[in-house]
């Protein structure tokens, strides 16, 4: 029996979601943001370098996504944890 590529992708995504409770994309985004949190706490890299290192499309996009995830801007998060 023939399974289309799309059907296989959906099966993999659904299985991933069953195991982790999130889509592969959401999981990758969470990991990027957790890495950003560590970089903010344990390095003095500027936001531009952190956002570039984690492959965000721009620093402003990084700030927006980080704030949605943590409730704080990256700068405020860094200051509040030190």
Q: What is the pLDDT of residues 58-77, one digit of tens each?
A: 999 999 999 999 999 999 99
- List, in order, residues 6 or more apart from 56 with CB less than 8 Å away: 32, 62, 65
Inform me whether the pLDDT recorded for 53 exceeds 90: yes
Whether 40 contacts 81, CB under 8 Å: yes
Q: Is the dihedral of CA 39, 40, 43, 45 positive or negative?
A: positive
Compute, in degrees rounded to 10, the torsion defined by CA atoms 53, 55, 56, 57: 120
Averaged pLDDT, 24-33: 96
């Amino acid at each position: 029996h023939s399974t289309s590529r799309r059907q296989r992708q959906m099966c993999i995504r659904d299985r991933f979601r069953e195991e982790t409770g999130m889509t592969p994309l959401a999981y990758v985004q969470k990991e990027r943001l957790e890495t950003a949190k560590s970089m903010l706490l344990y390095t003095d890299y500027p936001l531009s370098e952190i956002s570039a290192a984690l492959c965000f499309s721009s620093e402003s996009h990084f700030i927006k996504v980080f704030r949605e995830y943590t409730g704080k801007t990256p700068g405020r998060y860094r200051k509040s944890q030190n």
